Amino acid sequence: MQVVINIADDNDQTPVCPVLEEIPLDISSPVGTPVTQLTVSDADIGVNADIEFVSVLEGGNSEGTIFEINPLTGNIRTIV
Ligand SMILES: [Ca+2]
């Protein structure tokens, strides 16, 4: 499965996310298995540098996804 990361920005400096390597994940992994943590930085100051992580499936909704991302930390884990 390929995961696409879109980065949106509301102000001056665009958030930066390093390129991720392929992450092997066993299809039989139990619910809650940690996958990775996204580490995004934003050169803006104060609240303009705040990052929010949101999981969205292609087509614009989040139903049916097999991952959950922590909106504050960027930690991704399996939910099925
Ligand atoms: Ca910014």
Cβ neighbours of 27 (radius 10 Å):
7
The pTM for the full model equals: 0.77
pLDDT over threshold 90, residue 58: no
CATH code that applies to domain 1-80: 2.60.40.60
Q: How far is CA 36 from CA 7, 40, 42, 74, in A?
A: 17, 13, 19, 8
Q: What is the pLDDT of residues 3-18, one digit of tens each?
A: 777 788 888 998 998 8
Cα 51 to ligand 1 centre (Å): 8
pLDDT over threshold 70, residue 59: no
- Residue spans of the domains in the chain: they are 1-80
Cα 67 to ligand 1 centre (Å): 25
Q: What is the pLDDT of residues 27-56, one digit of tens each?
A: 899 999 999 999 999 999 999 999 999 887
Cα 30 to ligand 1 centre (Å): 35
